[in-house]
Structure 1
């Protein structure tokens, strides 16, 4: 019987002009011999096919041609076990951004991210079960999205060492010329094609066998007391309560943790202050929106689609948000001190609060999603504070992102009025990333449109510095691509890029071997 380790698998090869003819033939022959189907694809610009010309290195040599019928924007990426960006200069050509791509927007330092090929490979990078291959110059397709390269071990053609290093990658050298870092396989030139193909084959098999080691980067390296194996194997039954603002949450700050919880099999329940369906801020599903402090887009096309899907009540994902728990009905309101029956009403309040907090037994952790909305209906919401104190009193993890971290600063025991993060290490939206203008949020669908509230009414960093006290600390990590701090029982994430990492760290806190208790400081 023939050896067919890739039987039934599909391999995508991204090509364009100035490809290496022998490289493409090598992929077709070798992967096909292993039982896989090889699909050549590129950008067809609305045509049914495109013909590309190979490189010509020798004078008088006639270039070869290659006709492609598959446009990568029209395929289901999850159908593929591996995606390989061809060597030489196709990656440079595929980064091309036309006037149509830019949708009439002025060119800025984030425009390169909007190239369809860059967005396609970004989607692939977000799925660790798809093996990505980058020989020779191919990593040029990733340099517009440096966050996916940061901390990854790679090799590449010598001419692009500076580009790849500046993107935050770790340049490695091997005798074989091939570097494997979990779901990424790179080579320094096409001369190592055989070893490159074999490495991709091995990683595809590791995915099938469940033995693929997760990528460990500077941003995701577990603390010293957490083993590498503890990053993925979460199979215990868990239930997470996710608290969302009704005035607009930032899309990725829900999608990132939610996808993480879904992948490990956690159950999720949603909660809003009055039981209304939460809505994503419109700019959080707009890849053309330029974040004012950063001067670039913070939402890729793939993420924008995910946010739009969960924001749409007609989709299966969107239906998950249809009937959130009503916090107002669940937790009691504390009486006003001026009430003539204060003593009696406080007795009733404490009894109802006790029952409400006891009902948290079914949940293992709380996550507060960020965005502009929490400024309005979560940060100074007494019921939210009592909800947090309920999890805190049971010794259960509480995670918060971006402006959602404000809720932790204001969650205080009514007797001593000291924040529960006093003496703790936390992160949150730092002053360097705060807006002077351009923060939009909505109330509820059909009642209010997005509007520009200008700068936040408070600088979160200063609030957190005060709330943590002299024995704690606010850690902003300004200039670093991510900032997530674990100081049990709190997991705090600075902003949008930390969404997936915040979810991952919460999982490690619950089910790491041993459970994570301190990370990031």
Structure 2
């Protein structure tokens, strides 16, 4: 079936303000489980490889009351990641950028990641991102120099949900930047929200939307596989 590359933040530490962040557990594990249910495989990469820093809040009882994602994290599933430089983008049918505030610091302006996103997209693959994961999509430009998300429907973590204690520590407002180049929406009336910008770009609003987001991506990849099989046998 399809191969998906999940890209995680390696982590970010602000010692002056005693602030540590990285990738968000639910936003990796929930979509990965939905993808694996459909028979797809998930590889994990970070900019530098190795064991990335998970946002500790994502493993707390407040955000993971059943301890499901903490258990998956402690099993070591995300302990070994491939450096992005060692990843061949054309091997993957989709890229999944995992959220967590860390993505705003190390992934957002990574030209290496921008190039990988473009390769996957130009080869007909799906580009997807959840919560703060759309941060690098904001700064990704197509080969003709236009923003990848220009004029498209997008979502991501909203300003009014950002914790007060981190607002002054973040490098930019995700909602403001997404609104600047795309048609941002947060669908406050929906418990979970994921939106297709077109048939190859999918974004999810927040951690609680991770399962829906993963299911949407998984089903889209399955449909594509079936369509390719039908064309092959026609």
Q: 1:485 to 1:322 in 2, by over 3 A?
A: same
Provide the residue aligned with 1:505 in structure 2: 216
Aligned structure 1 segments of 4 or more residues deviating by more than 4 angstroms: none
Provide the residue aligned with 1:486 in structure 2: 196
CA-based RMSD: 2.1
Q: 1:414 to 1:510 in 2, by over 3 A?
A: closer
TM-score by length of 1: 0.39
Provide the residue aligned with 1:457 in structure 2: 171
CA distance in 2, matches of 1:265, 1:512: 12
Residue 38 of structure 2 contacts residue 222 of structure 2 at CA under 8 Å; is this kept in 1?
no
Shift of 1:454: 4.6
Instruction: Render the CA deviation track for 1:82-113: whole Å, top value 9, x for unaligned.
Output: xxxxxxxxxxxxxxxxxxxxxxxxxxxxxxxx
Provide the residue aligned with 1:252 in structure 2: 26
Instruction: Render the CA deviation track for 1:460-502: whole Å, top value 9, x for unaligned.
Output: 111111122xxxx111213431221012211100111100011
CA distance in 1, matches of 2:68, 2:168: 27
TM-score by length of 2: 0.84
Residue 58 of structure 2 contacts residue 64 of structure 2 at CA under 8 Å; is this kept in 1?
no
Shift of 1:310: 3.0
Which structure ranks higher in relative contact order (CA pairs < 8 Å, sequence separation ≥ 6)?
2
Instruction: Render the CA deviation track for 1:9-54: whole Å, top value 9, x for unaligned.
Output: xxxxxxxxxxxxxxxxxxxxxxxxxxxxxxxxxxxxxxxxxxxxxx
Instruction: Render the CA deviation track for 1:218-272: whole Å, top value 9, x for unaligned.
Output: xxxxxxxxxxxxxxxxxxx121110001111111111110111122221111100
Provide the residue aligned with 1:326 in structure 2: 83
Provide the residue aligned with 2:207 in structure 1: 496
Q: Give secondary structure in 2 for the equivalent of 1:279.
A: coil
Q: Give secondary structure in 2 for the equivalent of 1:241.
A: strand
Provide the residue aligned with 2:35 in structure 1: 261
Shift of 1:414: 6.5
Provide the residue aligned with 1:193 in structure 2: none
Q: Give secondary structure in 1 for the equivalent of 2:99.
A: coil
Equivalenced residue count is 215
CA distance in 1, matches of 2:32, 2:53: 15
CA distance in 2, matches of 1:268, 1:405: 19
CA distance in 2, matches of 1:490, 1:413: 13
Instruction: Render the CA deviation track for 1:255-308: whole Å, top value 9, x for unaligned.
Output: 1101111222211111000012123211111114xxxxxxxxxx2422xx2322
Where do 1:166-205 residues align within 5 Å?
none
Q: Does 1:419 align with 2:144?
A: no
Residue 9 of structure 2 contacts residue 102 of structure 2 at CA under 8 Å; is this kept in 1?
yes
Structure 2 gaps of 5+ residues are 12-21, 228-234
CA distance in 2, matches of 1:456, 1:435: 11
Structure 1 gaps of 5+ residues are 1-236, 289-298, 331-355, 440-452, 516-521
CA distance in 2, matches of 1:500, 1:429: 15
CA distance in 2, matches of 1:279, 1:429: 20
Where do 1:212-227 residues align within 5 Å?
none
Larger Rg: 1
Residue 45 of structure 2 contacts residue 82 of structure 2 at CA under 8 Å; is this kept in 1?
yes
Instruction: Render the CA deviation track for 1:165-186: whole Å, top value 9, x for unaligned.
Output: xxxxxxxxxxxxxxxxxxxxxx
Residue 156 of structure 2 contacts residue 204 of structure 2 at CA under 8 Å; is this kept in 1?
yes
Residue 434 of structure 1 contacts residue 459 of structure 1 at CA under 8 Å; is this kept in 2?
no
Residue 131 of structure 2 contacts residue 156 of structure 2 at CA under 8 Å; is this kept in 1?
yes
CA distance in 2, matches of 1:455, 1:479: 29
Q: Does 1:367 align with 2:96?
A: yes
Residue 430 of structure 1 contacts residue 478 of structure 1 at CA under 8 Å; is this kept in 2?
no
Q: Does 1:396 align with 2:115?
A: no
Q: 1:250 to 1:385 in 2, by over 3 A?
A: same
Provide the residue aligned with 2:15 in structure 1: none
Q: Does 1:278 align with 2:52?
A: yes
Q: Give secondary structure in 2 for the equivalent of 1:253.
A: helix
Residue 434 of structure 1 contacts residue 455 of structure 1 at CA under 8 Å; is this kept in 2?
no
Where do 1:83-232 residues align within 5 Å?
none
CA distance in 2, matches of 1:276, 1:392: 26
Instruction: Render the CA deviation track for 1:115-173: whole Å, top value 9, x for unaligned.
Output: xxxxxxxxxxxxxxxxxxxxxxxxxxxxxxxxxxxxxxxxxxxxxxxxxxxxxxxxxxx
